[in-house]
A = this chain, B = another copy of it.
């Protein structure tokens, strides 16, 4: 449903000279009259969907609200430049709770030298919702899009995948620094971040790039939390660690499409400390497949998170 609605929105908002990239990527690209470009995106987090206010501190909620936006900048290979915070809080919130929310935002912002330049604060009968808009500047190589992957490019991911619900979805550090270091020295054809799950976010790259991909299950870096979650939920859900890695949302790691040689060079000489792993290859035939130890390809439709609207 979200997918169709976004398609409808895209038909209503065509790109033009001043908006080279509009709705449908991790951020939009704007061409200012001065000749410079910037990237801009927005994410809205709500109580009961992205966090449970009663189960987590206001600081962590504020931090997450900014972190998911920073992750969009990382997915574009762009330098975060400024952010604005809109929020609506329940009437019964005290000012101290509000300040705690903002403290979580400010602390993460400062670690990325990101100024919070504006916002709007309201109260109402409802629950907490936070919308952050973030503006970034292009690197000299230009922003990464979802649409540039080519057959035979390798699929590269940062970090380890799956099980983020156990804590990473609040505590992850968005891959901004890693993205900028990679963008500085390596050729990247396409990129996105994992917000709705590797299989779903990779599928977005595939549809924007009009190609397919084969994931090598043996290569996918499965996080310890994916393994733990598989055990914790064994009775109820019986989801394997690899399926957690393929489908869990909110890893906020990067998926990169890179030419073979560049991907090899990146893995051998990573400019950053986080794990960087080749997990498969883009192919010309449309679709998403996985390949197990037996070498046989099997179709693997995305199962990640999709907003119901």
Contacts and interface: CB of A to CB of B under 8 A. Distances in A.
Contacts of A86: 42-44, 86, 131, 133
A38 interface: yes
Sorted nearest first, the 10 A-B pairs with minimum C-beta distance are A34-B36, A28-B117, A131-B131, A133-B133, A44-B86, A86-B131, A126-B126, A28-B118, A42-B84, A44-B120
Given A13-B115, A36-B34, A115-B13, A42 B122 contact: no
Contact of A23 (B28, B41, B116, B124): B116
A191 B19 CA distance: 29
B126 A46 contact: yes
Residue picked from A118, A122, A308, most chain B C-beta under 10 Å: A118
A47 B126 CA distance: 9
Contact of A32 (B36, B85, B93): B36
A32 to B, nearest CB: 5
A143 to B, nearest CB: 13
Contacts of A88: 44, 46, 129
Contact of A118 (B41, B126, B129): B41
Given A42-B133, A116-B23, A121-B307, A102 B36 contact: no
B308 A23 contact: no
A99 interface: yes
Contacts of A131: 42, 44, 86, 120, 131
B309 A118 contact: no
A98 interface: yes
Interface residues of A, number: 68
Contact of A117 (B13, B116, B120, B126): B13
A154 interface: no
A116 to B, nearest CB: 5
A120 B42 contact: yes
A84 B126 contact: no
Contacts of A106: 12-13
A178 to B, nearest CB: 21
Given A5-B98, A43-B120, A44-B120, 5 more contacts: A28-B82, A33-B137, A42-B118, A42-B131, A44-B87
B118 A308 contact: no
Contacts of A95: 1, 4-5, 309
Contacts of A43: 86, 120
Given A42-B119, A131-B44, A307-B121, A34 B35 contact: yes
